[in-house]
Chains A and B, each alone.
Chain A
């Protein structure tokens, strides 16, 4: 298990900066995802970790030793890491067993030990019966397991995964998420996982680093990212949300006729009078036919349903609070049916709101 530290890591191609001052520390044995839209720099960051790309500025340290810095890049083969590629990169000219044993043989381990560890790992990923097959004879999921086995069997200091599930179909992808997490729980390898799929990141990771335009916007445990997004980008990228412009007046926050005690909202600094931005999740807003009591400091306001979509698991309403141009998305259970044009009451829960930048 190794500790990995990224300090001000930057990569620029000419004038285009694709990774911009990334700071990140992984504790030994931690599983961290780099999550972001395509082009956000997450794969470039991963390739710098692997040693395939030289940073323009900043450094990467493994267990306190610099392994990457401008002009000084330890080649990939000496980093004691493993990587799982988007294309799997299973070598088609070798059998499953040869693929998996490749790294072990390079380490010049005794034949006996190579065989023992090969069969151990093949059992773990349930590929024992396919050891002598060639990759072309395997399904996508089986190829994925070969890639996993090949990467884990060498007991790497760090395991890197580059969108490993993006080529699988939906149900298999869900299964492999748990498989990856199970293997992590079993071997506790320090892991960096690159993905654009938030469900994947949430299912597998101890912490998620959300990246946008080359920068890390926020690093937190999955549930904190969802409930306490710190930036407008994170709030919008992780789940769906309503971004509402509000005003901070002394100790009160107000928007469109709703007033709340700011103490109830997480992370709002004291005092002053200024505009702020609130993230309000659609499922945190209550929808009522009659005016609710609005206890525990929960503000209520009347509004009109202007649009609705039934999604099976829930209703997706768009509601306009009275006398405002806001269009709020509100999620309601399937049995709670409102017609378009119906007058309703909205009830907000300040504890589930987050102040974002």
Chain B
């Protein structure tokens, strides 16, 4: 009976052995996971903790001598122009978040609760707005609503035979609207997820007591999802105040200075990292504080309806109003995706975009120039692809290992790892970039201008996305799956590679693709860290926008979108239709 058991290593025997034997025995039973844990701690300290600490310490150091000083703070907050930028950021954040909520909540309600037609179309709109890099949308809106030459304004002038301007995108309102048109998908995803949890019986209970459809929605449904609305409002607010591209493209010509564009100015020659670090502190503190508020809001479970799958869900019949709702979704789709995309596409194939669509204006010169002649374009495409791929691989790998250790409770204090992996979530990308610059750009590591610096920053910045993804995936695999392999004689690492990893493959691929996509269009972290040879597509796009060559810029944006669309297509095919839009 014991013939195969004999093939296994015999248990080490008895208590009679000396102390030395006991120690050896102990070492033989140490799992490799302990070493792995140590390695991960070091990696996370390098990627997350060190840049943040450096950012903090450098803000108190004199530039030349490195001695303690408060003068950086005095400089950073010593001029009215700098303080105005702070106020501008806050107002812009509030305005964008408010517009995004107004745009998205009716859409979420219509898709989740009503018989509105064209729900697939609405999903496509949301996905489209989500995929479109924000600075590209901003360029599209310059073509649409530039004060004199924008299509919308020219159409208005033609319609009214006047010299007037319907809408000037180079304005505070223009900035707020363009940002909201990019960020409303976040509100949609959050609020729809909450609405999906409200069972029809909640509304039925209000109906039976005498409330009509409208009253039930106002008094029961909306209050139930109120924390989600507020939570997504906070997220959009934070996205906005951390955003660099759109304010730089639209705000600088309009002389609207915000925190991120001011930070960028501190980085213009001569680079004043110390002042930038001091000036970034409010951004960091506001973000940490508001994320905490948002967590509190969403943690009050009694508020959100938690009946979950229980309870039947019926769609509210809107009658003729369903077409009004559909009209709203179509309008948002037109403003956020269709119109900017159309004018960008037109410009990319045009000799001069202002001449509109005509045969003699049509050319492939812009693409030809980029692909065969431009000195940086192809390099930046290659850079973008391999930086993003490397960062996505590193982030998913680290996240997977950390999530595994935390979820399986392999180590005491495993949560410390999880905390570090999630920490970049509360650090605006631009702040993180300054931290990386301060910590690693200069000697001893002297990584400035290297690919490594950007890859490290991308990895750290998108680690939380990968971690949330891996953590959910690992929780879905029953620990007994692995234990079954171990009791049959495979070590932990072997069990993970033979059993757990294959089961996680699909989810991990989804996480990898999401990180790749967001990394490939990341501007705010990249722009502070790129050197002459390490420019990414996003940075080059920004350079082109400063040069004002919109035809070439549009063509380059088209290439970036093409790459993104290919990846989204792969993701939908391999992982599932909604892989980008799952609420994490």
Contact = CB atoms under 8 A, between A and B. Distances in A.
Q: Do A and B come from one complex?
A: yes
Interface string A35-56: 0000000000000001110000
A77 B5 contact: no
B474 to A, nearest CB: 15
Interface stretch (B9-17, B76-84, B234-242, B252-260): B9-17
B480 A80 contact: no
A113 B13 CA distance: 30
B22 to A, nearest CB: 8
B12 A74 contact: yes
Interface stretch (B25-33, B303-311, B548-556): B25-33
From B9, B13, B484, name the one whose CB has the most chain A CB atoms within 10 angstroms: B484
Interface stretch (B165-173, B182-190, B218-226, B485-493): B485-493
Given A1-B1, A157-B5, A86 B480 contact: yes
B503 A155 contact: no
Contacts of A89: 478, 480-481, 483-484
Contact of A72 (B26, B31, B483, B486): B26
Contact of A65 (B11, B484, B502): B11
B489 A77 contact: yes
A85 interface: yes
Contacts of B486: 52, 75-77
A76 B495 CA distance: 12
B483 A50 contact: yes
A78 B13 CA distance: 13
A76 B4 CA distance: 16
Interface of chain A: mostly helix, strand, loop or mixed = loop
Contact of B29 (A64, A74, A109, A157): A74
A61 B491 CA distance: 21
From B1, B14, B488, name the one whose CB has the most chain A CB atoms within 10 angstroms: B488
A155 B489 CA distance: 12
A160 B486 CA distance: 13
A85 B12 CA distance: 27
From B4, B9, B481, B499, name the one whose CB has the most chain A CB atoms within 10 angstroms: B4
Interface string A84-99: 0111011111000000
Contacts of B5: 80, 155-157
Contact of B502 (A93, A102, A160): A93
A114 to B, nearest CB: 11
A92 B14 CA distance: 39
A82 B487 contact: yes
Nearest to A2: B2
B484 A83 contact: yes
B7 interface: yes
Given A65-B11, A87-B478, A154 B484 contact: no
Nearest to A86: B480
B3 interface: yes
From A74, A80, A188, name the one whose CB has the most chain B CB atoms within 10 angstroms: A80
B480 A76 contact: no
Interface in A1-38: 1-2
A246 B266 CA distance: 91
Contacts of B487: 50-51, 76-77, 79, 81-83, 160
Contacts of A69: 15
Interface string A147-167: 000110011110010000000
A274 interface: no
Contacts of B499: 91, 93
Contacts of B4: 104, 107, 109, 154-155
Interface in B12-49: 12-15, 22, 25-26, 29, 31
B7 to A, nearest CB: 5
From A2, A69, A102, A187, name the one whose CB has the most chain B CB atoms within 10 angstroms: A102
A106 interface: yes
A71 interface: yes
From B5, B9, B15, B31, name the one whose CB has the most chain A CB atoms within 10 angstroms: B5
A91 B483 contact: no
Nearest to A99: B484
A76 B29 contact: no
A56 B17 CA distance: 21
A265 interface: no
Contacts of A151: 488
Nearest to B9: A78
Contacts of A343: none
Interface in B475-516: 478, 480-481, 483-492, 499, 502-503
A155 B491 contact: no
B14 A103 contact: no
A3 B502 CA distance: 37
Nearest to B25: A72
A97 to B, nearest CB: 15
Contacts of B29: 72-75
B359 interface: no
A102 to B, nearest CB: 6
B8 interface: yes
A346 interface: no
B193 to A, nearest CB: 27
Contacts of B12: 65, 74
A155 B1 contact: yes
A108 interface: yes
A136 B503 CA distance: 14
B7 A108 contact: yes
B11 A85 contact: no
Contacts of A277: none
Nearest to B486: A76
A208 B481 CA distance: 28
A1 B2 CA distance: 7
A62 interface: yes
Contacts of B480: 85-87, 89
Interface string B450-490: 00000000000000000000000000001011011111111
Given A65-B14, A155-B3, A188-B1, A78 B25 contact: no
B488 to A, nearest CB: 4
A77 B3 contact: no
Nearest to A62: B11
B7 A107 contact: yes
A80 B12 CA distance: 13
Nearest to B503: A93
Nearest to A75: B29
B318 to A, nearest CB: 40
B489 A103 contact: yes
A89 B481 CA distance: 5
B24 to A, nearest CB: 12
A306 B538 CA distance: 86
A87 B484 CA distance: 10
B484 A85 contact: yes
Contacts of B15: 66, 69
A138 B503 CA distance: 18
A86 B9 CA distance: 28
A67 interface: yes
A103 B503 contact: no
A189 B4 CA distance: 14
A210 B487 CA distance: 25
A78 B488 contact: no
B483 A79 contact: no
Contacts of B22: 72
B106 to A, nearest CB: 41
Given A51-B487, A52-B486, A108-B7, 18 more contacts: A1-B1, A1-B2, A2-B2, A72-B22, A74-B11, A75-B491, A75-B492, A77-B487, A77-B490, A77-B491, A87-B480, A91-B499, A93-B503, A102-B485, A104-B4, A107-B4, A157-B2, A157-B5
25 contacts: A1-B1, A62-B11, A65-B12, A66-B13, A66-B15, A71-B26, A73-B29, A75-B492, A79-B11, A80-B2, A80-B8, A85-B480, A89-B480, A89-B481, A89-B483, A91-B499, A93-B503, A103-B488, A106-B490, A154-B488, A155-B3, A155-B4, A156-B5, A157-B5, A188-B1
CB-based closest 8 A-B pairs: A103-B488, A89-B480, A89-B484, A85-B480, A80-B5, A76-B486, A106-B489, A83-B487
